[in-house]
Structure 1
Amino acid sequence: MSMSESARFARVEALLDAALEKPEGEREAFLHLQESDAAIRTEVLELLRAVDASEGFLEAPAVPAGEHEGRRVGAWKLVRRIGRGGTGEVWLGERDDGRFEQQVAVKLLRHGVEDAPRFLREARLLARLQHPDIARLIDAGSLPDGAPYMVMELVEGVPVSHHCRERGLELPARLALFAQICETVAFAHRHLIVHRDLKPDNILVRADGQPMLLDFGIARPIDATHGDTRDLRLTPQYAAPEQLSGGEQSTLTDVYALGVLLHELLTDRSPWGELAGAGVLALLQRAQAGP
Protein backbone atom coordinates (compact mmCIF):
# COMPACT_ATOMS: atom_id res chain seq x y z
CA MET A 1 0.00 0.00 0.00
CA SER A 2 1.40 3.40 -0.97
CA MET A 3 2.09 6.00 1.69
CA SER A 4 -0.47 8.80 2.05
CA GLU A 5 0.64 12.33 1.23
CA SER A 6 0.44 13.46 4.85
CA ALA A 7 2.31 10.38 6.07
CA ARG A 8 5.00 10.96 3.46
CA PHE A 9 5.31 14.60 4.50
CA ALA A 10 5.65 13.58 8.15
CA ARG A 11 8.33 11.03 7.23
CA VAL A 12 10.32 13.60 5.22
CA GLU A 13 10.15 16.11 8.04
CA ALA A 14 11.18 13.57 10.69
CA LEU A 15 14.16 12.47 8.61
CA LEU A 16 15.13 16.10 7.95
CA ASP A 17 15.09 16.93 11.66
CA ALA A 18 17.15 13.83 12.49
CA ALA A 19 19.66 14.42 9.68
CA LEU A 20 20.24 18.03 10.74
CA GLU A 21 21.59 16.72 14.04
CA LYS A 22 24.28 14.69 12.22
CA PRO A 23 27.59 16.06 10.96
CA GLU A 24 27.26 17.16 7.35
CA GLY A 25 29.53 14.39 6.04
CA GLU A 26 27.44 11.65 7.72
CA ARG A 27 23.97 12.70 6.63
CA GLU A 28 23.67 10.83 3.35
CA ALA A 29 24.87 7.55 4.88
CA PHE A 30 22.45 8.09 7.77
CA LEU A 31 19.53 8.50 5.34
CA HIS A 32 20.46 5.28 3.50
CA LEU A 33 20.33 3.41 6.78
CA GLN A 34 17.04 4.96 7.89
CA GLU A 35 15.02 5.10 4.66
CA SER A 36 14.69 2.56 1.82
CA ASP A 37 12.58 4.82 -0.43
CA ALA A 38 14.99 6.54 -2.81
CA ALA A 39 12.51 9.30 -3.68
CA ILE A 40 12.10 10.25 -0.02
CA ARG A 41 15.88 10.21 0.49
CA THR A 42 16.31 12.50 -2.51
CA GLU A 43 13.69 14.94 -1.21
CA VAL A 44 15.34 15.08 2.21
CA LEU A 45 18.77 15.62 0.65
CA GLU A 46 17.40 18.52 -1.42
CA LEU A 47 15.97 20.11 1.73
CA LEU A 48 19.28 19.60 3.52
CA ARG A 49 21.10 21.38 0.70
CA ALA A 50 18.65 24.28 0.94
CA VAL A 51 19.21 24.54 4.69
CA ASP A 52 22.99 24.33 4.34
CA ALA A 53 22.96 26.99 1.64
CA SER A 54 21.07 29.30 4.01
CA GLU A 55 23.37 28.97 7.02
CA GLY A 56 25.75 31.78 6.16
CA PHE A 57 22.86 34.23 5.78
CA LEU A 58 21.03 32.95 8.84
CA GLU A 59 23.99 33.27 11.16
CA ALA A 60 24.93 36.74 9.92
CA PRO A 61 24.11 39.87 11.92
CA ALA A 62 20.57 41.14 11.44
CA VAL A 63 20.15 43.44 8.43
CA PRO A 64 18.31 46.72 9.21
CA ALA A 65 14.95 46.88 7.46
CA GLY A 66 15.93 49.97 5.48
CA GLU A 67 18.76 48.12 3.77
CA HIS A 68 16.28 45.77 2.09
CA GLU A 69 14.39 48.61 0.39
CA GLY A 70 14.82 48.44 -3.35
CA ARG A 71 16.46 45.01 -3.20
CA ARG A 72 15.76 42.66 -6.10
CA VAL A 73 14.29 39.29 -5.11
CA GLY A 74 13.85 37.13 -8.19
CA ALA A 75 11.56 39.08 -10.50
CA TRP A 76 10.43 41.34 -7.65
CA LYS A 77 11.64 44.58 -6.02
CA LEU A 78 11.14 45.11 -2.29
CA VAL A 79 9.32 48.38 -1.58
CA ARG A 80 8.66 48.47 2.18
CA ARG A 81 8.20 46.12 5.12
CA ILE A 82 4.55 45.48 5.91
CA GLY A 83 4.73 42.85 8.64
CA ARG A 84 6.71 40.37 10.71
CA GLY A 85 5.76 36.82 11.58
CA GLY A 86 7.11 33.88 13.52
CA THR A 87 9.52 32.82 10.77
CA GLY A 88 9.90 35.82 8.52
CA GLU A 89 9.48 39.43 7.53
CA VAL A 90 6.84 40.33 4.96
CA TRP A 91 7.56 43.01 2.37
CA LEU A 92 5.47 44.77 -0.21
CA GLY A 93 6.97 43.77 -3.55
CA GLU A 94 6.50 44.95 -7.11
CA ARG A 95 7.15 43.13 -10.37
CA ASP A 96 10.51 44.40 -11.60
CA ASP A 97 11.19 42.58 -14.87
CA GLY A 98 9.18 44.86 -17.14
CA ARG A 99 6.74 42.13 -18.20
CA PHE A 100 3.70 43.52 -16.36
CA GLU A 101 2.72 45.39 -13.20
CA GLN A 102 1.83 43.44 -10.07
CA GLN A 103 2.11 43.94 -6.32
CA VAL A 104 2.78 41.00 -4.01
CA ALA A 105 3.79 40.10 -0.47
CA VAL A 106 7.37 38.80 -0.25
CA LYS A 107 8.26 36.77 2.84
CA LEU A 108 11.93 36.64 3.81
CA LEU A 109 13.29 34.26 6.41
CA ARG A 110 14.38 35.89 9.65
CA HIS A 111 17.66 34.98 11.28
CA GLY A 112 17.91 31.60 13.02
CA VAL A 113 18.92 28.45 11.15
CA GLU A 114 16.39 26.39 13.11
CA ASP A 115 13.58 28.19 11.26
CA ALA A 116 14.73 27.20 7.75
CA PRO A 117 12.92 23.81 7.67
CA ARG A 118 9.72 25.46 8.96
CA PHE A 119 9.97 28.16 6.30
CA LEU A 120 10.41 25.57 3.55
CA ARG A 121 7.54 23.55 5.02
CA GLU A 122 5.22 26.58 4.85
CA ALA A 123 5.98 27.01 1.14
CA ARG A 124 5.22 23.34 0.49
CA LEU A 125 1.94 23.53 2.40
CA LEU A 126 0.81 26.66 0.56
CA ALA A 127 1.57 25.01 -2.76
CA ARG A 128 -1.00 22.33 -1.85
CA LEU A 129 -3.76 24.83 -1.02
CA GLN A 130 -5.52 26.43 -3.97
CA HIS A 131 -8.61 28.19 -2.62
CA PRO A 132 -10.04 31.67 -3.35
CA ASP A 133 -10.08 32.51 0.38
CA ILE A 134 -6.46 31.47 1.06
CA ALA A 135 -3.62 33.80 0.10
CA ARG A 136 -1.92 31.84 -2.69
CA LEU A 137 1.74 31.12 -3.27
CA ILE A 138 2.93 32.83 -6.48
CA ASP A 139 6.65 32.15 -6.52
CA ALA A 140 9.47 30.85 -4.35
CA GLY A 141 13.21 30.62 -4.60
CA SER A 142 16.54 31.46 -3.00
CA LEU A 143 18.51 34.69 -2.82
CA PRO A 144 22.13 34.80 -4.03
CA ASP A 145 23.26 34.20 -0.43
CA GLY A 146 21.09 31.07 -0.28
CA ALA A 147 18.29 32.45 1.91
CA PRO A 148 14.85 31.19 0.84
CA TYR A 149 11.96 33.50 0.04
CA MET A 150 8.28 33.18 -0.83
CA VAL A 151 6.15 35.45 -3.01
CA MET A 152 2.49 35.43 -2.02
CA GLU A 153 -0.72 37.08 -3.08
CA LEU A 154 -0.96 40.55 -1.52
CA VAL A 155 -4.05 40.78 0.68
CA GLU A 156 -5.14 44.28 1.64
CA GLY A 157 -7.70 44.18 4.42
CA VAL A 158 -8.36 44.42 8.15
CA PRO A 159 -8.63 41.69 10.81
CA VAL A 160 -12.06 40.11 10.78
CA SER A 161 -12.95 41.29 14.30
CA HIS A 162 -12.11 44.90 13.37
CA HIS A 163 -14.13 44.57 10.18
CA CYS A 164 -17.24 43.50 12.10
CA ARG A 165 -16.93 46.34 14.60
CA GLU A 166 -16.03 49.07 12.11
CA ARG A 167 -18.86 48.12 9.76
CA GLY A 168 -21.31 47.61 12.60
CA LEU A 169 -22.32 44.26 11.12
CA GLU A 170 -25.53 42.72 12.41
CA LEU A 171 -25.67 39.15 13.72
CA PRO A 172 -26.73 37.47 10.41
CA ALA A 173 -23.85 39.13 8.55
CA ARG A 174 -21.33 38.12 11.21
CA LEU A 175 -22.56 34.53 11.17
CA ALA A 176 -22.38 34.42 7.37
CA LEU A 177 -18.79 35.68 7.49
CA PHE A 178 -17.88 33.12 10.16
CA ALA A 179 -19.47 30.31 8.12
CA GLN A 180 -17.31 31.29 5.14
CA ILE A 181 -14.19 31.21 7.33
CA CYS A 182 -15.18 27.75 8.60
CA GLU A 183 -15.54 26.49 5.02
CA THR A 184 -12.02 27.71 4.23
CA VAL A 185 -10.57 26.01 7.31
CA ALA A 186 -12.49 22.83 6.41
CA PHE A 187 -10.87 22.96 2.96
CA ALA A 188 -7.44 22.97 4.61
CA HIS A 189 -8.50 20.06 6.83
CA ARG A 190 -9.67 18.08 3.79
CA HIS A 191 -6.16 18.57 2.44
CA LEU A 192 -4.82 17.19 5.74
CA ILE A 193 -3.45 20.49 7.04
CA VAL A 194 -4.04 22.00 10.50
CA HIS A 195 -3.46 25.77 10.59
CA ARG A 196 -2.78 26.01 14.37
CA ASP A 197 -2.78 29.82 14.52
CA LEU A 198 -6.30 30.95 13.64
CA LYS A 199 -6.88 34.47 14.97
CA PRO A 200 -8.21 37.79 13.63
CA ASP A 201 -4.77 38.99 12.48
CA ASN A 202 -4.51 35.92 10.23
CA ILE A 203 -8.00 36.36 8.77
CA LEU A 204 -8.18 39.64 6.87
CA VAL A 205 -11.35 40.94 5.26
CA ARG A 206 -10.88 42.84 2.01
CA ALA A 207 -12.84 45.95 1.04
CA ASP A 208 -15.25 43.77 -0.94
CA GLY A 209 -16.08 41.75 2.20
CA GLN A 210 -14.08 38.65 1.22
CA PRO A 211 -12.28 36.98 4.17
CA MET A 212 -8.78 35.74 3.40
CA LEU A 213 -6.84 33.19 5.46
CA LEU A 214 -3.13 33.96 5.87
CA ASP A 215 0.06 32.77 7.55
CA PHE A 216 0.60 29.03 7.56
CA GLY A 217 3.94 29.51 9.32
CA ILE A 218 3.18 26.97 12.09
CA ALA A 219 0.69 24.83 10.16
CA ARG A 220 1.30 21.08 10.10
CA PRO A 221 0.07 18.07 8.15
CA ILE A 222 -2.45 16.20 10.28
CA ASP A 223 -0.25 13.11 10.64
CA ALA A 224 2.65 15.29 11.80
CA THR A 225 0.77 16.87 14.73
CA HIS A 226 0.83 13.72 16.87
CA GLY A 227 3.36 13.83 19.66
CA ASP A 228 4.60 17.27 18.60
CA THR A 229 5.60 18.79 21.93
CA ARG A 230 8.55 20.87 20.79
CA ASP A 231 6.92 23.73 18.87
CA LEU A 232 5.17 26.12 21.22
CA ARG A 233 5.06 29.07 18.83
CA LEU A 234 1.44 30.09 19.19
CA THR A 235 -0.93 32.89 20.15
CA PRO A 236 -2.03 32.00 23.70
CA GLN A 237 -5.46 33.67 23.58
CA TYR A 238 -6.50 31.48 20.62
CA ALA A 239 -4.54 28.31 21.39
CA ALA A 240 -6.30 25.10 22.41
CA PRO A 241 -5.35 23.48 25.76
CA GLU A 242 -3.33 20.78 23.96
CA GLN A 243 -1.25 23.51 22.30
CA LEU A 244 -0.66 25.33 25.56
CA SER A 245 0.47 22.11 27.23
CA GLY A 246 2.50 20.84 24.25
CA GLY A 247 0.20 17.83 23.72
CA GLU A 248 -1.07 16.05 20.63
CA GLN A 249 -2.98 18.24 18.21
CA SER A 250 -5.57 17.63 15.49
CA THR A 251 -8.22 19.42 13.46
CA LEU A 252 -9.97 20.00 16.80
CA THR A 253 -7.15 22.41 17.62
CA ASP A 254 -8.42 24.68 14.84
CA VAL A 255 -12.03 24.11 15.90
CA TYR A 256 -11.17 25.42 19.38
CA ALA A 257 -9.63 28.58 17.89
CA LEU A 258 -12.71 29.04 15.73
CA GLY A 259 -14.84 28.87 18.88
CA VAL A 260 -12.79 31.66 20.47
CA LEU A 261 -13.11 33.68 17.26
CA LEU A 262 -16.89 33.16 17.14
CA HIS A 263 -17.21 34.45 20.71
CA GLU A 264 -15.33 37.61 19.72
CA LEU A 265 -17.38 38.14 16.57
CA LEU A 266 -20.67 37.77 18.47
CA THR A 267 -19.79 39.81 21.57
CA ASP A 268 -16.89 42.08 20.52
CA ARG A 269 -15.08 40.75 23.61
CA SER A 270 -12.53 38.06 24.35
CA PRO A 271 -13.91 35.01 26.19
CA TRP A 272 -10.87 35.30 28.49
CA GLY A 273 -12.10 38.54 30.05
CA GLU A 274 -9.48 39.94 32.39
CA LEU A 275 -7.04 37.22 31.26
CA ALA A 276 -6.96 38.53 27.67
CA GLY A 277 -3.30 39.15 26.95
CA ALA A 278 -2.12 36.77 29.68
CA GLY A 279 0.68 34.28 29.16
CA VAL A 280 0.61 30.58 28.38
CA LEU A 281 0.64 29.35 32.00
CA ALA A 282 -2.29 31.48 33.17
CA LEU A 283 -4.41 30.56 30.16
CA LEU A 284 -3.58 26.86 30.46
CA GLN A 285 -4.62 26.85 34.10
CA ARG A 286 -7.88 28.60 33.23
CA ALA A 287 -8.59 26.24 30.30
CA GLN A 288 -7.95 23.16 32.46
CA ALA A 289 -10.25 24.50 35.19
CA GLY A 290 -13.22 24.35 32.79
CA PRO A 291 -16.30 26.64 32.72
Structure 2
Amino acid sequence: MKPPLGYDKATSDEVCHLKRSLYGLKQASRDLQGEFIVLLVYVDDMLLTSTSQTQIDEIKVALDQAFTSKDLGELKYFFGIEIIKNTSGIMLSQKKYILDMIKDLNLDHSRPVSTPLPKGLGLSTELGDVLEEPEQYRKLVGRLLYLNITRLDLSYATQHLSQFLSCPRKPHLQAAMYVVRYLKSTLHLGLFYSATSDDVVKSYSDADWRTCLFTSRSLSAYCIFVGNHLVSWKTKKQKTVSKSFAEAEYGSMSSTASKVVWLEGLLQDLKVHVSLPIYLY
Protein backbone atom coordinates (compact mmCIF):
# COMPACT_ATOMS: atom_id res chain seq x y z
CA MET A 1 0.00 0.00 0.00
CA LYS A 2 1.47 3.31 -1.04
CA PRO A 3 2.10 5.81 1.80
CA PRO A 4 -0.63 8.49 1.82
CA LEU A 5 0.01 12.01 0.60
CA GLY A 6 1.45 14.20 3.35
CA TYR A 7 3.41 11.36 4.99
CA ASP A 8 7.06 12.25 4.28
CA LYS A 9 8.93 9.74 6.47
CA ALA A 10 8.87 6.99 3.83
CA THR A 11 11.39 6.82 1.00
CA SER A 12 10.29 6.42 -2.61
CA ASP A 13 10.76 2.64 -2.56
CA GLU A 14 8.88 1.97 0.68
CA VAL A 15 5.26 0.93 1.19
CA CYS A 16 3.07 0.51 4.27
CA HIS A 17 3.08 -2.93 5.88
CA LEU A 18 -0.50 -3.81 6.77
CA LYS A 19 -1.05 -6.03 9.80
CA ARG A 20 -4.66 -6.70 8.80
CA SER A 21 -7.04 -6.10 5.89
CA LEU A 22 -8.57 -2.66 5.70
CA TYR A 23 -12.28 -2.25 4.97
CA GLY A 24 -12.92 -0.81 1.52
CA LEU A 25 -9.65 -1.82 -0.15
CA LYS A 26 -9.95 -3.83 -3.37
CA GLN A 27 -7.64 -6.52 -2.00
CA ALA A 28 -9.25 -6.68 1.46
CA SER A 29 -11.67 -9.48 0.55
CA ARG A 30 -9.21 -11.75 -1.25
CA ASP A 31 -7.23 -13.34 1.61
CA LEU A 32 -9.29 -16.57 1.79
CA GLN A 33 -6.88 -19.43 1.09
CA GLY A 34 -7.16 -19.13 -2.68
CA GLU A 35 -10.96 -19.35 -2.75
CA PHE A 36 -13.27 -16.58 -3.96
CA ILE A 37 -16.35 -15.50 -2.04
CA VAL A 38 -19.00 -12.88 -2.86
CA LEU A 39 -21.16 -11.58 -0.03
CA LEU A 40 -24.05 -9.25 -0.93
CA VAL A 41 -25.70 -7.47 2.00
CA TYR A 42 -28.81 -5.28 1.88
CA VAL A 43 -29.73 -4.09 5.40
CA ASP A 44 -30.41 -7.45 7.10
CA ASP A 45 -30.76 -9.63 4.01
CA MET A 46 -27.76 -11.44 2.58
CA LEU A 47 -26.70 -13.46 -0.45
CA LEU A 48 -23.60 -15.63 -0.38
CA THR A 49 -21.79 -17.46 -3.17
CA SER A 50 -18.34 -18.94 -3.46
CA THR A 51 -16.03 -21.27 -5.36
CA SER A 52 -15.98 -23.47 -2.25
CA GLN A 53 -18.98 -24.94 -0.41
CA THR A 54 -16.73 -25.45 2.63
CA GLN A 55 -16.00 -21.70 2.77
CA ILE A 56 -19.72 -20.94 2.51
CA ASP A 57 -20.49 -23.25 5.43
CA GLU A 58 -17.69 -21.74 7.55
CA ILE A 59 -18.87 -18.18 6.88
CA LYS A 60 -22.48 -19.07 7.73
CA VAL A 61 -21.35 -20.55 11.04
CA ALA A 62 -19.21 -17.49 11.82
CA LEU A 63 -22.04 -15.09 10.98
CA ASP A 64 -24.52 -17.04 13.06
CA GLN A 65 -22.17 -16.90 16.05
CA ALA A 66 -21.77 -13.12 15.72
CA PHE A 67 -25.36 -12.31 14.75
CA THR A 68 -28.46 -14.42 15.11
CA SER A 69 -29.22 -15.41 11.52
CA LYS A 70 -31.60 -17.67 9.62
CA ASP A 71 -30.33 -19.83 6.78
CA LEU A 72 -32.99 -19.96 4.05
CA GLY A 73 -31.02 -22.42 1.96
CA GLU A 74 -30.55 -22.24 -1.80
CA LEU A 75 -31.56 -18.92 -3.35
CA LYS A 76 -35.12 -18.91 -4.70
CA TYR A 77 -36.59 -15.49 -3.85
CA PHE A 78 -34.91 -12.22 -2.93
CA PHE A 79 -36.49 -8.77 -2.60
CA GLY A 80 -39.36 -9.41 -4.98
CA ILE A 81 -37.16 -11.25 -7.47
CA GLU A 82 -37.82 -14.94 -8.17
CA ILE A 83 -34.74 -16.99 -9.10
CA ILE A 84 -35.45 -20.14 -11.12
CA LYS A 85 -32.46 -22.42 -11.72
CA ASN A 86 -31.92 -25.52 -13.82
CA THR A 87 -29.09 -27.12 -15.80
CA SER A 88 -29.61 -24.64 -18.66
CA GLY A 89 -29.12 -21.51 -16.57
CA ILE A 90 -30.87 -19.02 -14.30
CA MET A 91 -34.12 -17.10 -14.86
CA LEU A 92 -34.86 -13.88 -12.99
CA SER A 93 -38.54 -12.96 -12.76
CA GLN A 94 -40.71 -10.51 -10.82
CA LYS A 95 -44.01 -12.19 -11.65
CA LYS A 96 -45.20 -12.42 -8.05
CA TYR A 97 -44.28 -8.78 -7.45
CA ILE A 98 -46.38 -7.78 -10.48
CA LEU A 99 -49.34 -9.91 -9.40
CA ASP A 100 -49.29 -8.31 -5.96
CA MET A 101 -49.26 -4.87 -7.58
CA ILE A 102 -52.21 -5.72 -9.83
CA LYS A 103 -54.18 -6.98 -6.84
CA ASP A 104 -53.38 -3.93 -4.70
CA LEU A 105 -54.56 -1.60 -7.50
CA ASN A 106 -57.78 -3.62 -8.08
CA LEU A 107 -56.84 -4.20 -11.72
CA ASP A 108 -57.51 -7.95 -11.69
CA HIS A 109 -60.30 -7.62 -14.27
CA SER A 110 -58.80 -4.79 -16.34
CA ARG A 111 -58.08 -5.28 -20.04
CA PRO A 112 -54.41 -6.03 -20.81
CA VAL A 113 -52.60 -3.88 -23.39
CA SER A 114 -49.67 -4.68 -25.68
CA THR A 115 -47.41 -1.63 -25.19
CA PRO A 116 -45.97 0.03 -22.06
CA LEU A 117 -47.48 3.42 -23.02
CA PRO A 118 -50.10 4.48 -25.60
CA LYS A 119 -48.72 5.50 -28.99
CA GLY A 120 -48.21 9.25 -29.30
CA LEU A 121 -48.80 9.90 -25.61
CA GLY A 122 -47.91 13.48 -24.65
CA LEU A 123 -48.07 14.14 -20.92
CA SER A 124 -47.88 17.71 -19.64
CA THR A 125 -47.01 19.35 -16.34
CA GLU A 126 -50.00 21.67 -16.74
CA LEU A 127 -52.87 19.69 -18.33
CA GLY A 128 -55.26 17.66 -16.20
CA ASP A 129 -56.61 17.91 -12.67
CA VAL A 130 -54.09 17.76 -9.85
CA LEU A 131 -54.36 14.56 -7.81
CA GLU A 132 -55.80 15.03 -4.32
CA GLU A 133 -53.56 12.21 -3.04
CA PRO A 134 -50.24 12.54 -4.90
CA GLU A 135 -48.66 9.82 -2.74
CA GLN A 136 -50.73 7.25 -4.62
CA TYR A 137 -48.97 8.17 -7.87
CA ARG A 138 -45.52 8.42 -6.27
CA LYS A 139 -45.86 5.01 -4.67
CA LEU A 140 -46.98 3.44 -7.94
CA VAL A 141 -44.10 4.96 -9.93
CA GLY A 142 -41.69 3.75 -7.24
CA ARG A 143 -42.98 0.21 -7.64
CA LEU A 144 -42.65 0.45 -11.41
CA LEU A 145 -39.08 1.70 -11.04
CA TYR A 146 -38.26 -1.36 -8.94
CA LEU A 147 -39.44 -3.56 -11.81
CA ASN A 148 -36.61 -2.15 -13.93
CA ILE A 149 -34.39 -4.74 -12.22
CA THR A 150 -35.64 -7.39 -14.67
CA ARG A 151 -37.90 -5.49 -17.07
CA LEU A 152 -35.86 -3.29 -19.39
CA ASP A 153 -38.99 -2.81 -21.54
CA LEU A 154 -40.24 -0.42 -18.84
CA SER A 155 -37.13 1.77 -18.94
CA TYR A 156 -38.57 4.55 -21.11
CA ALA A 157 -42.03 4.48 -19.52
CA THR A 158 -40.74 4.78 -15.97
CA GLN A 159 -38.32 7.56 -16.97
CA HIS A 160 -41.22 9.46 -18.55
CA LEU A 161 -43.56 9.04 -15.58
CA SER A 162 -40.86 10.00 -13.07
CA GLN A 163 -40.85 13.58 -14.40
CA PHE A 164 -44.19 14.37 -12.76
CA LEU A 165 -43.61 13.23 -9.18
CA SER A 166 -43.60 16.76 -7.74
CA CYS A 167 -47.13 17.59 -8.93
CA PRO A 168 -48.85 14.54 -10.42
CA ARG A 169 -52.13 14.94 -12.31
CA LYS A 170 -54.88 12.54 -13.34
CA PRO A 171 -53.47 11.89 -16.85
CA HIS A 172 -50.17 10.89 -15.23
CA LEU A 173 -51.92 8.37 -12.98
CA GLN A 174 -53.90 7.00 -15.92
CA ALA A 175 -50.66 6.49 -17.85
CA ALA A 176 -49.09 4.69 -14.88
CA MET A 177 -52.15 2.42 -14.66
CA TYR A 178 -51.73 1.74 -18.37
CA VAL A 179 -48.22 0.41 -17.65
CA VAL A 180 -49.65 -1.99 -15.08
CA ARG A 181 -52.17 -3.24 -17.65
CA TYR A 182 -49.24 -3.87 -19.98
CA LEU A 183 -47.58 -5.89 -17.24
CA LYS A 184 -50.68 -8.12 -17.09
CA SER A 185 -50.05 -9.20 -20.67
CA THR A 186 -46.32 -9.78 -20.12
CA LEU A 187 -46.24 -11.53 -16.75
CA HIS A 188 -43.81 -14.23 -17.84
CA LEU A 189 -41.10 -11.95 -19.21
CA GLY A 190 -37.80 -11.87 -17.34
CA LEU A 191 -34.05 -12.25 -17.75
CA PHE A 192 -32.42 -15.56 -18.61
CA TYR A 193 -28.72 -16.20 -18.02
CA SER A 194 -27.42 -19.29 -19.77
CA ALA A 195 -25.00 -21.64 -18.05
CA THR A 196 -22.78 -21.48 -21.15
CA SER A 197 -21.77 -18.18 -22.74
CA ASP A 198 -18.68 -16.29 -23.84
CA ASP A 199 -17.27 -13.31 -21.92
CA VAL A 200 -17.32 -10.72 -24.72
CA VAL A 201 -18.70 -7.41 -23.46
CA LYS A 202 -20.80 -5.46 -25.98
CA SER A 203 -22.53 -2.14 -25.40
CA TYR A 204 -25.20 -0.29 -27.36
CA SER A 205 -25.97 3.42 -27.17
CA ASP A 206 -28.79 5.55 -28.56
CA ALA A 207 -30.27 9.01 -28.17
CA ASP A 208 -33.59 10.71 -28.90
CA TRP A 209 -33.04 14.37 -29.73
CA ARG A 210 -35.10 16.99 -27.85
CA THR A 211 -37.58 14.47 -26.49
CA CYS A 212 -38.58 16.60 -23.51
CA LEU A 213 -41.18 19.17 -24.59
CA PHE A 214 -40.55 21.36 -21.55
CA THR A 215 -36.75 21.59 -21.44
CA SER A 216 -35.75 20.55 -25.00
CA ARG A 217 -33.32 18.05 -23.47
CA SER A 218 -32.58 14.74 -25.16
CA LEU A 219 -32.77 11.20 -23.86
CA SER A 220 -29.77 8.91 -23.52
CA ALA A 221 -30.17 5.15 -23.47
CA TYR A 222 -27.79 2.22 -23.30
CA CYS A 223 -27.69 -1.52 -22.77
CA ILE A 224 -24.65 -3.69 -22.05
CA PHE A 225 -24.24 -7.42 -22.66
CA VAL A 226 -21.74 -9.93 -21.32
CA GLY A 227 -21.87 -12.62 -23.98
CA ASN A 228 -25.57 -13.03 -24.76
CA HIS A 229 -26.59 -11.84 -21.30
CA LEU A 230 -28.04 -8.40 -20.69
CA VAL A 231 -26.50 -7.08 -17.47
CA SER A 232 -27.03 -3.29 -17.49
CA TRP A 233 -29.38 -0.79 -19.13
CA LYS A 234 -30.79 2.68 -18.57
CA THR A 235 -32.86 5.49 -20.08
CA LYS A 236 -32.14 8.96 -18.74
CA LYS A 237 -32.65 12.59 -19.68
CA GLN A 238 -29.42 14.38 -20.55
CA LYS A 239 -28.21 17.11 -18.20
CA THR A 240 -27.74 19.75 -20.92
CA VAL A 241 -29.53 20.79 -24.10
CA SER A 242 -27.96 19.34 -27.24
CA LYS A 243 -27.89 21.65 -30.26
CA SER A 244 -27.95 18.79 -32.77
CA PHE A 245 -28.79 15.11 -33.06
CA ALA A 246 -25.06 14.35 -33.38
CA GLU A 247 -24.33 16.15 -30.11
CA ALA A 248 -27.08 14.17 -28.38
CA GLU A 249 -25.60 10.94 -29.73
CA TYR A 250 -22.11 11.84 -28.52
CA GLY A 251 -23.50 12.64 -25.07
CA SER A 252 -25.18 9.26 -24.95
CA MET A 253 -21.99 7.51 -26.11
CA SER A 254 -20.01 9.29 -23.41
CA SER A 255 -22.31 8.17 -20.59
CA THR A 256 -22.34 4.63 -22.01
CA ALA A 257 -18.55 4.53 -22.15
CA SER A 258 -18.35 5.62 -18.51
CA LYS A 259 -20.71 2.81 -17.50
CA VAL A 260 -18.68 0.29 -19.51
CA VAL A 261 -15.47 1.28 -17.69
CA TRP A 262 -17.21 0.93 -14.33
CA LEU A 263 -18.68 -2.45 -15.31
CA GLU A 264 -15.30 -3.69 -16.51
CA GLY A 265 -13.83 -3.01 -13.05
CA LEU A 266 -16.75 -4.76 -11.37
CA LEU A 267 -16.38 -7.84 -13.56
CA GLN A 268 -12.67 -8.01 -12.81
CA ASP A 269 -13.41 -7.86 -9.07
CA LEU A 270 -15.83 -10.78 -9.61
CA LYS A 271 -13.05 -12.78 -11.33
CA VAL A 272 -14.73 -12.54 -14.74
CA HIS A 273 -12.23 -12.30 -17.58
CA VAL A 274 -13.03 -9.33 -19.83
CA SER A 275 -11.89 -9.61 -23.44
CA LEU A 276 -10.57 -6.40 -24.95
CA PRO A 277 -11.43 -4.28 -26.81
CA ILE A 278 -15.01 -3.66 -25.62
CA TYR A 279 -17.24 -2.64 -28.51
CA LEU A 280 -19.67 0.26 -28.43
CA TYR A 281 -22.38 0.19 -31.07
Asked if these proteins are the same fold (TM beyond 0.5), I'd say no
- Higher Rg of the two aligned structures: 2
If each structure's helix is expressed as a fraction of its own residues, which one has the higher value? Answer: 1
TM-score by length of 1: 0.30
